[in-house]
């Protein structure tokens, strides 16, 4: 694949490992995990890969500040703050909600990493992001706007390279299952599949949006990402596999399925998944395996996208300890 400008931030390749005890418990296919919770950069996660390319774009623009937005417990914001610190840039984060009485987990890390935190309602996000950008410029700075979730074609390209990395690591999985939200990870994997001729199934478990809303957006982003690599093919919504059966009580609401998934991964494999993204995707994976959705001779890879600092968020303590 064509090389793109990249700033090294991640520890790559991330390992893959089998999940024999979980596979046996579910009586289903052979499960494997790819450990993008181990990318490095302040506890890691999938945004670290995207930020290698986004930070390169920011440096090419001679930026001195990264600005982005996310949820109160955004992993993307935490990793952006860490990337900015490592590269000697300032960082402004626009976080959803009221400023909590006590910072915890990801937003505590944002603070420790030196980011400026701006709190606001969900609906004001775009305006506040623009306002923060303008304020930084007026103050004489050179801010760079990192897209929500790191999900433009430059960020998504990281997951085309990640698929290439996976395919070089050994037996090719037939299924790749992971949490999908802003769609950059899935778009990048789909672009990589197109460019590399991967013939397996790329299944995003939605954590917050309906499949019908997500699929066309991911298809467009995947098509743009393919173009970035000088490819031609365009994807449409039907090419994007999204399962939205596991939205539960809504974004970041921990229910029984997430709690069970977190415990099964922890107690059978010593592996931590998070309450918002990977716990929900793992709950979907577990349910699908129990229902016989995967055939037993198909190799299934769960792509762990990180997020584990949220396990320590005050907001989830009661649910997780129950």
Ligand X SMILES: *Cc1c(COP(=O)(O)O)cnc(C)c1O
Segment interacting with ligand X (CB under 6 A) among 21-29, 82-90, 175-183, 289-297: 175-183
Site residues for ligand X, window 303-322 (CB under 6 A)?
305-307
Q: Which is nearer to ligand X, 134 or 245 (CB)?
A: 245
Q: Which residue in the block uniquely carries the two structure tokens 């390209």?
A: 157
Q: How far is the CB of 42 from ligand X (least distance, A)?
A: 12
Q: How far is the CB of 159 from ligand X (least distance, A)?
A: 8
First-last CA distance in the chain: 48
- Strand-pair category, 31-35 with 16-18: antiparallel
Q: How far is the CB of 76 from ligand X (least distance, A)?
A: 5
Q: Which is nearer to ligand X, 142 or 217 (CB)?
A: 217
Minimal CA–CA distance to 37: which of 25, 49, 27?
A: 49
Does the active-site annotation cover 151?
Answer: no
Q: Which is nearer to ligand X, 225 or 305 (CB)?
A: 305
- Pattern of binders to ligand X over 34-53, x per CB under 6 A? -----------xx-------
- Pattern of binders to ligand X over 204-243, x per CB under 6 A? ----------------------------------------
Task: Tokens for 174, please give them.
Answer: 């037939």
Q: Which is nearer to ligand X, 23 or 151 (CB)?
A: 151
Task: Note whether 184 binds ligand X by CB under 6 A.
Answer: yes
CA distances for 33 relative to 19, 227, 267, 299, 306, angstroms: 7, 29, 16, 11, 12
- Tell me which of 106, 152, 185, 223 binds ligand X, using CB under 6 A: 185
Site residues for ligand X, window 109-168 (CB under 6 A)?
149, 151
Task: Note whether 68 binds ligand X by CB under 6 A.
Answer: no
Segment interacting with ligand X (CB under 6 A) among 20-28, 166-174, 238-246, 300-308: 300-308
Site residues for ligand X, window 271-290 (CB under 6 A)?
274, 277-278
Minimal CA–CA distance to 161: which of 267, 316, 12, 320?
A: 12
Q: Which is nearer to ligand X, 46 or 243 (CB)?
A: 46
Which of 74, 104, 182, 206 is flagged as catalytic? 74
As a dihedral over the C-alpha atoms of residue 43, residue 47, residue 50, residue 53, rounded to 10 degrees, the angle is -50
What are 214-217's contacts with CB under 8 Å, separation 24+? 214/180, 214/183, 214/240, 214/242, 214/244, 215/240, 215/242, 216/240, 217/183
| Number of residues lying near ligand X (CB under 6 A) | 20
Q: How far is the CB of 51 from ligand X (least distance, A)?
A: 12
CA dist 16 and 121 (Å) reads: 39
CB 150 within 8 A of CB 127: no
CB 264 within 8 A of CB 286: yes
CA distances for 262 relative to 93, 187, 194, 254, 299, angstroms: 28, 26, 33, 10, 22
Treating both helix axes as pointing N-terminal to C-terminal, what angle do 153-167 and 184-196 enclose, rounded to 10 degrees?
Answer: 50
Q: How far is the CB of 70 from ligand X (least distance, A)?
A: 8
SS3 243: strand
Q: Which is nearer to ligand X, 180 or 225 (CB)?
A: 180
Provide the binding-site residues for ligand X, judged by CB under 6 A: 45-46, 75-76, 149, 151, 179-186, 274, 277-278, 305-307
Which residues are known to be catalytic? 74
């Amino acid at each position: 694949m064509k090389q793109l400008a990249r700033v090294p931030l991640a520890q790559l390749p991330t390992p893959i490992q089998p999940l024999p005890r979980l596979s046996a418990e579910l009586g289903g296919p052979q499960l494997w995990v790819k450990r993008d919770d181990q990318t490095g950069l302040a506890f890691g996660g999938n945004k670290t890969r995207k930020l290698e390319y986004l930070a390169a774009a920011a440096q090419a623009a001679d930026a001195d500040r990264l600005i982005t937005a996310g949820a109160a417990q955004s992993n993307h914001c935490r990793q952006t703050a860490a990337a900015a610190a490592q590269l000697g840039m300032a960082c402004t984060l626009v976080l959803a909600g009221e400023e909590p009485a006590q910072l915890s987990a990801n937003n505590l890390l944002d603070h420790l990493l030196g980011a400026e935190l701006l709190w606001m309602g969900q609906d004001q996000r775009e305006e506040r992001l623009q306002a923060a950008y303008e304020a930084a410029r007026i103050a004489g700075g050179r801010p760079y706007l990192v897209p929500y979730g790191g999900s433009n074609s430059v960020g998504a390209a990281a997951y085309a390279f990640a698929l290439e990395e996976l395919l070089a690591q050994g037996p090719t999985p037939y299924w790749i299952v992971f949490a999908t939200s802003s769609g950059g990870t899935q778009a990048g994997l789909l672009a990589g599949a197109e460019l590399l001729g991967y013939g397996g199934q790329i299944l995003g478990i939605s954590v917050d949006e309906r499949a019908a809303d997500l699929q066309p957006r991911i298809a467009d982003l995947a098509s743009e990402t393919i173009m970035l690599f000088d490819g031609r093919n365009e994807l449409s919504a039907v090419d994007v596999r999204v399962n939205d059966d596991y939205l539960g009580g809504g974004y970041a609401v921990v229910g029984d399925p997430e709690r069970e998934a977190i415990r099964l991964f922890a107690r059978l494999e010593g592996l931590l998944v998070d309450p918002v993204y990977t716990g929900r995707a793992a709950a979907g994976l577990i349910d699908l395996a129990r229902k016989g959705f995967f055939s037993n001779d198909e190799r299934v890879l769960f792509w762990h996208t990180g997020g584990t600092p949220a396990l320590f968020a005050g907001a989830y303590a009661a649910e997780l300890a129950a």
